[in-house]
A and B are shown apart, each in its own frame.
Chain A
Amino acid sequence: MMSVKVIIPTPLRVYAGKRDSAEFAAATVGEALGNLTKEFGELRKHLYTEEGKLRAFVNVYLNDEDIRYLAKENTPTKDGDTISIVPSIAGGSCQGVFAAR
C-alpha cells in the first residue's frame, strides 16, 4: 500500500477537524478520498453528490495534474504522492452573494 498525502483546502478544514492535510494508505486517488471521507464523515457531502460522484466545483489533483486528465478516481498513486482538493472560491472583497447581512 502506498502512503499518500491529501491536502485539505481552507473552506473544508472545518469539516476535517481543522486539519490541513491527512495521510492515507491508498493505491488510487479514489481510495485515498474514500479513506478521507471515512475518517471525516462530514466531508462527504461537500465532496460528493448523493449519487457518489465528485462535485463539479471541486477539482482534485494528483501532484500537479488534474485527475480529469488522468484516470479520474482510478488514477494510481505512489508512495509520497500528494492529492490536492481545490474548490472554487470567489472571495475578493468579501461581501459576496452569500454574505450574511
Chain B
Amino acid sequence: MATTLQAQTGAKPATSLSNEEILRYSRHLIMPEVGMEGQLKLKNAKVLLIGTGGLGAPLGLYLAAAGVGRLGLVDFDVVDFTNLQRQVTFGSSDVGKPKTAAASARLSNLNPDIQIETYETKLTSENALELFKDFDIIVDGTDNFPTRYLVNDACVLLGKPNVYGSIFRFEGQATVFGMPEGPCYRCLYPEPPPPGLVPSCAEGGVLGVLPGIVGSIQAMETIKLILGSGDNLIGRLLLFDALGMKFRELKLRKNPACPMCGEHRTIHKLIDYYEFCGVRGEEAPAPDVQVPEITPRELKTRLDRGDDLFILDVREPHEFQICNLNGHLIPLGELPRRVHELDSSREIIAHCRSGKRSAESVDFLRKAGFRKILNLKGGILAWSDEVDPSVPKY
C-alpha cells in the first residue's frame, strides 16, 4: 500500500541491488547502456510528478517499472468517471478516490520496492520550493498555464530539470526545461495566453492515447537524464502530430533576455501565477462575458406555457448527435457568417454544453443588435441536471 515517507534525513544512497531486484530489472541490466551502474542510478533517483492525470499515468507506471527509487506524486484531484478514457493508472473502482491514493496503490502493486510519496495538495507558490527541494527531477504533467509557469520558475530557482510535456486534442509537445545551460519555459513563452483565447481541453477534447504517448516520452527523457545517456531534449522542442503520425523538432534557444533564466534575470522568487495568467479567484475563472441568462427550470416553464421561443444551439454537429434540445444548430465559429438565419424579432435562447460558448454567442448577437436573446445558464449539462435527467451528459 501507499507509504508516506517521513523526512529522509541522512539516507545513504544505495550501493547494491538485491537478488530480487537483479531479477526484476534483468532486462535493464543486460544492456550495457544501463547495467548495474545505471540501475543503481535509477534506484537512487528521486523524481517528483506534478499531476497524476493523463500524462501522469504513463509517467508513474514507467518510472515505477524502471525502478526509480523515490517517486513523489502531487495532485489534489479525485478520480472522475470521464478520466478513465485516458488516465490508465485508474480503474472503475477508483472513481471518487483521491488520485494520489489510487495512483500510489497501482504503482506500489507494480513495484513494491520503490518508495512512493503522495501529496494530495494543490501546488502553490507557498509550497513549491519546499516540495521540490528534496527531488532531483521534476516532471510537469499539469493541465493549466499558471501551474506550468510555477513549476518552471521553481525549477529554475532550484536548478532542477523540468521534464515538460503538454497536449491538446491530438498534438503534443515535449522538451526538458530548467537546466542551467538550456532554456526555460519562459524562454519559449514569455507570456501566457489571456483566458479564453486558446480553447481549453474540456471544450476541445483529447484522444485518450495521446497523453499516453507524450507521457511515455517524458518518462523516457527522465530515465535518460538519470542514466546520463542518449541525446536528451534540452534545447529541442519535440512536436508530435498524432493524426498525421509525424514527429517534428524545433530548436529551443535560451533567451538571453529571459527574466527568469537569462543573464540579467529580474525574477528571483515565485509570484502569483493566477494573476500573471489573468485568472481571478480560485480555480473557477470569472465568466468571460456577462450576458442576460435564463435557467433551465425557467426555460422549461416558459416552453410548457407555450411561449414562442427560438432555441439556438451553438455546439458542433457531433455534439448535436450526442444529445440536443431540438435547437437550430449554428456552431459558434459559423455564427458571424450565418447570422442571417436568425430572426431578431423572435426571442432567442442560446445554449451550448455548459453555457460558456453560448454566452459568447449572446454577447456577439447583442453587439450585432439582437435585443431579445438569453443565454441558457449551465447549458445542456444543467438542463440534464435540473430538468431532464434522461438527457445524457458528456
Contact = CB atoms under 8 A, between A and B. Distances in A.
Nearest to A88: B189
Given A14-B333, A20-B244, A100-B354, A95 B171 contact: no
A24 interface: no
A86 B239 CA distance: 9
B191 interface: yes
B55 A92 contact: yes
A52 interface: no
Contacts of B31: none
A91 B201 contact: yes
Interface residues of B, number: 68
B244 A95 contact: no
B322 interface: no
A90 B173 CA distance: 10
A64 B250 CA distance: 4
B355 A100 contact: yes
B60 interface: no
Interface string A61-92: 10011101100000000000000101111111
Contacts of A11: 168-169, 198-199, 204
Contacts of A84: 239, 248, 250
Contacts of A44: none
Given A20-B244, A93-B211, A95-B77, A88 B192 contact: yes
A1 interface: no
Contacts of B77: 93, 95
B362 interface: no
Contact of A56 (B83, B190, B203): B190
Interface in B248-293: 248-253, 255, 277, 279, 283-285
Contacts of A9: 171
B198 A88 contact: yes
A97 B195 CA distance: 9
B226 interface: no
Contacts of A97: 144-146, 195, 200, 277, 279, 283, 285
Q: What are the 3 closest A-B residue pairs judged by CB atoms, nearest first?
A: A93-B53, A94-B201, A98-B200
Given A92-B165, A93-B143, 10 more contacts: A9-B171, A11-B199, A42-B333, A66-B251, A88-B145, A89-B166, A89-B198, A93-B83, A95-B143, A98-B285
9 contacts: A10-B170, A20-B241, A57-B189, A90-B148, A91-B168, A92-B166, A92-B167, A100-B356, A100-B357
